[in-house]
């Protein structure tokens, strides 16, 4: 999607064009739904949060500025805030200010045909390694690798400073490094033994 298209849709939506509003929704719903699913498996809560986000966008459209540098990041950040408020309201005894929230993502192998047990074991092992990371580190890995966001964009979405993003990123990479080194060694040995 070109930046000119995004600018046109955003500005048209801000001027009250219902079709552009629908286009904005259609262009981003699936990504927002996937992102919301990283925080909670409650599908209705995610749908409510997305609904609230788009109602708020429509209601406040005249006060919104020009196209943000990244509409996707703007929407991610807004959805994250709404979801955290809703999750916090559901469980008043838990705090979402540190690593106390759940953040999960599946290693997607939809386009790979898993034919043998070694590959299945490798996939499950990678999933287990990622699951051991604290929630905020998992979120950064997801946003950087799966969504392709820059460090600055991750900082904006997660509402933390860039220094904290770097710190969490390097902690995540350190946490993964030893496990992945072992996993890679195991996988290479398995391939060599087969051949």
- Same domain for 84 and 127, yes or no, is no
Among 24-33, 126-135, 183-192, the range of highest mean pLDDT: 24-33
- Same domain for 121 and 187, yes or no, is yes
Higher pLDDT, 104 or 176: 176
Q: Confirm whether 151 is domain-assigned.
A: yes
Q: Which of 163, 128, 157, 123 is nearest to 143 (CA)?
A: 157
State the CATH number of the domain containing residue 132: 1.10.10.10
Q: Confirm whether 99 is domain-assigned.
A: no
3-state class of 139 per DSSP? Answer: helix
| Number of domains the chain is built from | 2
Q: Confirm whether 171 is domain-assigned.
A: yes
When mean pLDDT is compared across 23-27, 54-58, 182-186, the lowest value belongs to: 182-186
Q: Confirm whether 107 is domain-assigned.
A: no
Among 6-15, 45-54, 107-116, the range of highest mean pLDDT: 45-54
- Same domain for 8 and 86, yes or no, is yes
Q: What's the chain's average pLDDT? A: 79
- Same domain for 121 and 84, yes or no, is no
Q: Confirm whether 100 is domain-assigned.
A: no
Q: What is the pLDDT of residue 28?
A: 92
State the CATH number of the domain containing residue 12: 1.10.1740.10
Angle between helices 117-131 and 162-194 (to 10 degrees): 160
Q: Confirm whether 102 is domain-assigned.
A: no
Q: Confirm whether 9 is domain-assigned.
A: yes
> b/e map of 136-174 (b: 16 or more CB within 10 Å)?
bbbbbbbbbeebebeeebbbbbbeeeeeebeebbeebee
User: 26 is in which domain, residue-wise?
Assistant: 3-90
pTM: 0.65
């Amino acid at each position: 999607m070109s930046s000119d298209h995004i600018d046109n849709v955003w500005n048209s939506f801000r001027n009250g064009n219902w079709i552009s509003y629908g286009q904005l929704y259609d262009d981003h719903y699936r990504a927002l739904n996937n992102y919301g699913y990283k925080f909670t498996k409650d599908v209705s809560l995610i749908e409510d949060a997305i609904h609230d986000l788009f109602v708020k966008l429509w209601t406040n459209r005249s006060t919104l500025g020009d196209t943000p540098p990244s509409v996707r990041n703007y929407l991610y950040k807004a959805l994250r805030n709404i979801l955290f408020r809703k999750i916090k309201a559901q469980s008043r005894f838990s705090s979402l200010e540190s690593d106390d929230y759940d953040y999960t993502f599946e290693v997607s192998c939809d386009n790979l045909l898993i034919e043998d047990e070694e590959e299945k074991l490798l996939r499950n092992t990678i999933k287990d390694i990622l699951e051991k990371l604290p929630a905020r580190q998992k979120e950064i890995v997801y946003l950087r690798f799966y969504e392709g966001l820059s460090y600055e964009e991750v900082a904006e979405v997660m509402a933390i400073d860039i220094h904290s993003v770097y710190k969490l990123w390097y902690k995540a990479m350190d946490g993964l490094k030893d496990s992945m080194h072992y996993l890679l060694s195991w996988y290479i040995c398995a391939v060599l033994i087969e051949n």
